[in-house]
DNA sequence: TTAGGGTTAG
């Protein structure tokens, strides 16, 4: 089977990056990786990144950093995606300082953080209630000409909600809706805000109204409503 | 070919 895959360079890479790393099979991926190397394939930043991503998802921290070193020793420079994956992994594991050190490292190596990386940092800063740093970060993003997208809004509004500033979150959300840059995740945060203020019925009627103009709720939207109604003991 | 946000319950 492997040999068949080896005959199709592109097919192999897709298999390596998509099929294996995303389904918690990093060990199998690793075997394939070595087999490919043995057969003379030169791995790209994408294959190394896919492998590192797999290790992050499985919480295999030692492997993450070993492979980061390994790729660099093999003359392959990590790119913004590689770094962002590692930064998020460190945040998710409570290693804030280490993550921020990686952000500085990115900048030093002229691998400038992009909107996705800033969104990850923004979310983490909110979770840590570091409002001064958030304001500074938003200024930096603005200076770099990075316009916020729906992920940025989710980080901002979700963060405000998480630290108990429901009113501010609602205000910001209504402002976002008037500019039309929201998607289902951002709307779900809005429904959550309403439910938190014991306005589950209003959340439901807004959901229905939105559906009439093409809005497609998902399981999170419905779960948010259900949770709101249960908390209010309406049913 | 690689990446980021939102729900609950257990």
Enumerate the domain spans of chain A.
1-78
Give residues with Cβ within 8 angstroms of A16, minimum separation 6.
Answer: A29, A32, A33, A36, A47, A50, A51
Identify the CA nearest to A81 among candidates A101, A108, A51. A51
Residue A155: which nucleotide is closest by CA–C1'?
B5
DSSP state of A23: G
Chain B nucleotides reached by a protein CB under 7 Å: 1-9
Q: Is the CB of A163 under 7 A from strand B?
A: no
CA to C1' distance (Å), from A217 to B6 = 12
pLDDT at A38: 79
The position carrying tokens 């953080």 is A113
Q: Where are the alpha helices (DSSP H) in chain A?
A: 2-6, 9-14, 26-38, 45-57, 61-73, 80-92, 96-108, 115-127, 131-143, 150-162, 166-179, 184-196, 200-212, 219-232
CA to C1' distance (Å), from A231 to B7 = 14
What are the structure tokens assigned to A53, written together?
Answer: 């991503």
Q: Residues of A from 19 to 48 whose C-beta is within 7 A of strand B: which are they?
A: 22, 44-47
Rounded to whole angstroms, the Cα distance separating A100 from A86 reads: 11
CB-based contact A127:A159 (threshold 8 Å): yes
**pLDDT by 10s per residue, chain A, length 235:** 333 334 445 555 555 555 445 555 666 777 777 788 777 777 899 999 999 999 999 999 999 999 999 999 999 999 999 999 999 999 999 999 999 999 999 999 999 999 999 999 999 999 999 999 999 999 999 999 999 999 999 999 999 999 999 999 999 999 999 987 799 999 999 999 999 999 999 999 999 999 999 999 999 999 999 999 998 875 5
CA to C1' distance (Å), from A226 to B8 = 9
From the number of C-beta atoms within 10 Å of its C-beta (0-12, 13-18, 19+), residue A195 rates as buried
CA to C1' distance (Å), from A187 to B7 = 12
pTM: 0.86
């Amino acid at each position: 089977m492997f040999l068949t895959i080896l005959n199709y360079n592109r097919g192999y890479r897709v298999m390596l990056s998509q099929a294996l790393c995303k389904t918690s099979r990093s060990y199998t991926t690793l075997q394939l990786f070595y087999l490919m190397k043995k057969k003379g394939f030169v791995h790209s930043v994408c294959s190394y990144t896919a492998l590192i991503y797999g290790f992050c998802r499985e919480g295999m921290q030692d492997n993450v950093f070993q492979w980061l070193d390994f790729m660099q020793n093999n003359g392959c420079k990590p790119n913004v995606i590689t770094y962002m994956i590692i930064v998020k992994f460190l945040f998710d594991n409570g290693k804030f300082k280490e993550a921020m050190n990686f952000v500085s490292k990115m900048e030093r190596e002229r691998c400038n953080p992009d909107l996705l990386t800033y969104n990850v940092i923004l979310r983490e800063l909110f979770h840590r209630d570091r409002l001064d740093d958030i304001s500074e970060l938003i200024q930096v993003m603005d200076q770099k000409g990075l316009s916020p997208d729906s992920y940025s809004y989710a980080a901002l509004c979700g963060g405000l909600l998480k630290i108990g500033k429901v009113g501010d979150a609602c205000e910001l959300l209504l402002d976002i809706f008037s500019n039309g840059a929201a998607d289902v995740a951002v709307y779900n945060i809005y429904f959550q805000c309403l439910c938190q203020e014991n306005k589950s019925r209003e959340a439901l009627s807004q959901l229905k109204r939105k559906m009439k103009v093409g809005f497609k709720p998902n399981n999170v939207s419905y779960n948010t409503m259900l949770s709101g109604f249960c908390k209010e003991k309406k049913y």
